[in-house]
């Protein structure tokens, strides 16, 4: 790792996907960028160092000496962190990632923001892809690793900037949602459910943050809203000053609708009002992904992209890493890695795969890792989320804040619980007979569980 001294910008928490994207954009803007994180490791460290960004392990005061022109603080850091305490005592200039991005990049661009409890990353990547392939050269910041671009964030030379608009809080000194800073011209509101139990006491508190976003969209902009989501309808009833176009799959009176032509969602027909735009075939599955596609096409249309052209591009969309990513097949077992970590996301992911594979055996392997999951905020809804699975394996580490065996007992004989990843993999491997589809679900690294199972099965005699 190279020296972090003398930088224009030092980013605390640089190895997160969002903060790493900020770093890449700042470097592309011509700034000298450095950063530090608790854990500095590939692939993000490799990507950043290839951009000429100096990285340091840990949060030490020495990493901020001599003082950079400005420090960008990630929302994972709080008071008591050594680097935070040093920069406050030394009165260094500091800001948050969303505020830096808004001040230095977004104010010059037409921003298309993608908000929602589920599907933000996939929809953001898809919208950026549609604009890019239609010659718009958009800037973007995607909260994942897109398959269709070599980077997850870039400035772009076009007018448009596509951003994943997260409702999580901004920083220890700014408890508003990140997306409040973005001031989009076009905002997709994909869906809204209770989540992030560590910062939101109830659904109403999240709805207020979404309404702050709605308030920031100009009158000559556009809201692309899931017309089948009751929580979003309540948000709009709080007041809006921007035309709204509603999308969905089944409700009547929608401005945009996706009609499934196959049960797994890999084929669908796009309707604009009462006019059929055309049919699409693509590699993604699930009703939720059809809705994501309809929203992205609608948003792209606002800025001048012909819907029929966008629809035709779907067949080439490569999606995002760890969104039902098939990591390989061994011993007749197909293995997938997925980011699902909310009961609704788990259910729709499994239902989409079930529709594709028919009666083949489906095995769900889940790590309750998000703050909401660890606190048990979604525990009661979990058993029903696994309805499409033939077997369910759950990692229940000793520090989990709820009794997994008792809470998930209604899953019955399909359930197996393990205290460690090693034990979990032993249980999954022992139960396999060949022909299964195994889906690993976590919003963290899951200790490489999907790849480890693939390696185990691939090395069997």
Tens digits of residue pLDDT in 13-69 = 998 889 999 999 999 999 999 999 988 766 677 888 888 898 999 999 999 999 999
In a domain, 393, yes or no: yes
Assess whether pLDDT exceeds 90 at residue 318.
Answer: no
Range of the domain at 276: 105-316
Domain boundary residue, one of 284, 316, 348:
316
| In a domain? residue 4 | no
Q: Is residue 410 part of a domain?
A: yes
Yes or no: say if 195 and 343 are a contact pair by the CB < 8 Å rule: no
Indicate whether 281 and 175 sit together in one domain: yes
Query: 316, 336, 354: which is the final residue of a domain?
Result: 316
- Does residue 366 sit in helix, strand or coil? strand
User: Cα–Cα distance between 224 and 214 in angstroms, integer?
Assistant: 11
Strands 169-171 and 174-177, bridge-based pairing: antiparallel
Q: How many domains does the chain have?
A: 3
Q: Give CA separation, 167 vs 288, 307, 379, in Å.
A: 19, 28, 21
26 and 151 part of one domain: no
- Distance between CA atoms of residues 438 and 453, nearest Å: 10
> The tokens 């077997």 sit on which residue?
391
What is the β-pairing status of strands 110-115 and 160-164? Answer: parallel
CATH number at residue 362: 3.90.190.20
pLDDT at 321: 67
Give mean pLDDT, residues 295-303.
Answer: 98
**Does residue 417 have a pLDDT over 50?**
yes
The token duo for 66 is: 């001599």
Q: Note whether 240 and 383 are same-domain residues.
A: no
Same domain, 341 and 303: no
Same domain, 360 and 286: no
Looking at the structure, do residues 358 and 232 belong to the same domain, yes or no?
Answer: no
Q: 452 and 384: one domain?
A: yes
**Partners of residue 417 on adjacent β-strands:** 394
138 pLDDT band (50/70/90 cuts)? very high
Is residue 347 domain-shared with residue 236, that is, in the same domain? no
Given a cut of 90, whether residue 73 has pLDDT beyond it is yes
Q: Among 6-10, 160-164, 372-376, where is mean pLDDT lowest? A: 372-376
Question: Residue 378: is its pLDDT beyond 80?
Answer: no
Q: What is the DSSP string of 142-188?
A: -SS-BSSSS-SEE--SSSEEEEE---SEEETTEEEEGGGGT--SEEE
- Taking the C-alpha atoms of residue 139 and residue 141, their distance in angstroms, rounded to an integer, is 7
For the cut 90, the answer to whether the pLDDT of residue 397 exceeds it is: no
Q: What is the pLDDT of residue 376?
A: 55
Q: 197 lies in a domain?
A: yes
Decide if 2 is inside a domain: no
To the nearest 10°, the Cα dihedral for 194, 407, 287, 265?
160
CB 376 within 8 A of CB 399: no
Give the mean model confidence (pLDDT) for residues 63-85. Answer: 95
pLDDT for res 366: 87
pLDDT at position 410 = 86
Contact 408, 306 (CB under 8 A): no
User: Residue 341 has what pLDDT?
Assistant: 67
- Is the pLDDT reported for residue 287 higher than 90? no
- 3-class secondary structure for 51-107? CCCEEEECCCHHHHCCCCCEEEECCCCCCCCHHHHHHHHCCCCEEEHHHHHHHHCHH
- Give Dmax over CA atoms of the chain in angstroms: 65
**125 lies in the same domain as 270:** yes
Higher local confidence (pLDDT), 385 or 257: 257
What CATH number is associated with residue 55? 3.40.50.720
Cα–Cα distance, 100 to 103 (Å, whole number): 5
Return d(Cα 414, Cα 347) in angstroms, integer.
16
Report if residue 3 sits inside a domain.
no
CA nearest 382: which of 422, 348, 411? 411
Q: Which residue has the tokens 């409890």?
A: 117
**Looking at per-residue confidence, does 212 or 344 come out higher?**
212
* Whether 69 contacts 11, CB under 8 Å: no
Element (H, E) at 56: strand 54-57
Return the CATH number at 218: 3.40.1190.10
Label the pairing between strands 244-248 and 256-260.
Answer: parallel
The pLDDT mean for the chain works out to: 89
What sign does the CA torsion over 226, 228, 230, 236 have? positive
Q: Looking at 95, 126, 148, which one is the last position of a domain?
A: 95
Q: Does 402 lie in the same domain as 275?
A: no
Residue 312 parent element (H or E): helix 307-313
Neighbours of 326 (CB within 10 A): 13
The confidence score (pLDDT) of residue 46 equals 80
Q: Is residue 1 in a domain?
A: no
pLDDT for 372 = 58
The candidate with the shortest Cα–Cα distance to 130, out of 327, 298, 326, 373, is 298
Q: Which of 182-196, 229-243, 361-375, 430-444 has the largest mean confidence?
A: 229-243
Q: Taking 80 as the threshold, does the pLDDT of residue 112 lie above it?
A: yes
Does residue 411 share a domain with residue 352?
yes
Calculate the alpha carbon distances from 461 to 298, 426, 430, 458 in Å: 51, 16, 15, 9
269 and 141: one domain?
Answer: yes
Let me know if residue 439 belongs to a domain: yes
């Amino acid at each position: 790792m190279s020296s972090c001294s003398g930088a224009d910008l030092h980013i605390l928490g640089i190895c997160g996907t969002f903060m790493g994207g900020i770093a890449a954009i700042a470097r592309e803007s011509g700034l000298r960028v450095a950063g530090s994180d608790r854990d500095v490791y590939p692939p993000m460290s490799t990507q950043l160092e290839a951009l000429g960004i100096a990285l340091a392990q840990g949060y030490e005061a020495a990493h901020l000496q001599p003082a950079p022109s400005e420090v960008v603080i990630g929302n994972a850091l709080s008071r008591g962190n050594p680097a935070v305490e040093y920069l406050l005592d030394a009165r260094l200039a500091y800001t948050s990632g969303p505020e830096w991005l808004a001040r230095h990049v977004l104010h010059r661009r037409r921003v298309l923001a993608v908000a929602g409890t589920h599907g933000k990353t996939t929809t953001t990547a898809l919208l950026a892809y549609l604009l890019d392939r239609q010659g718009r050269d958009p800037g973007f910041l995607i909260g994942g690793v897109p398959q269709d671009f070599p980077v997850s964030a870039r400035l772009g030379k076009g007018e448009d900037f596509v951003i994943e608009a997260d409702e999580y809080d901004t920083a220890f000194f700014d408890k508003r949602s990140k997306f409040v800073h973005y001031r989009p011209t076009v905002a997709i509101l994909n869906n809204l459910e209770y989540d992030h139990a560590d910062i939101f006491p109830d659904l109403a508190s999240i709805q207020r943050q979404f309404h702050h976003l709605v308030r920031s969209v100009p009158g000559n902009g556009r809201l692309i809203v899931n017309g089948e989501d009751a929580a979003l309808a309540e948000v709009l009833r709080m007041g809006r000053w921007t035309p709204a176009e509603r999308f969905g799959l089944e409700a009547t009176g929608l401005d945009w609708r996706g009609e499934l032509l196959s049960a797994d969602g890999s084929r669908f027909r796009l309707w604009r009002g009462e006019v059929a735009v055309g049919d699409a075939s693509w590699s993604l599955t699930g009703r939720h992904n059809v809705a994501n596609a309809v929203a992205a096409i609608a948003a792209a249309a606002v800025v001048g992209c012909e819907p029929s052209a966008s629809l035709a591009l779907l067949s080439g969309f490569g999606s995002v890493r760890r969104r039902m990513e098939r990591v390989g097949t061994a011993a007749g077992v197909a293995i997938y890695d997925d980011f699902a970590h909310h009961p609704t996301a788990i259910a729709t992911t499994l239902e989409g795969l079930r529709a594709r594979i028919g009666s083949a055996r489906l095995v769900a392997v889940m790590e309750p890792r998000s703050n909401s999951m660890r606190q048990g905020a979604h525990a009661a809804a979990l058993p029903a989320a696994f309805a499409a699975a033939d077997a369910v394996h759950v990692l229940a580490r000793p520090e989990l804040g709820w009794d997994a065996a008792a809470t998930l007992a209604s899953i019955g004989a399909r359930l197996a619980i393990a205290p460690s990843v090693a034990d979990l993999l032993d249980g999954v491997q022992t139960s396999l007979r060949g022909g299964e589809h195994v889906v690993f679900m976590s919003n963290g690294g899951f200790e490489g569980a999907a790849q480890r199972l693939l390696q185990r099965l691939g090395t069997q005699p």
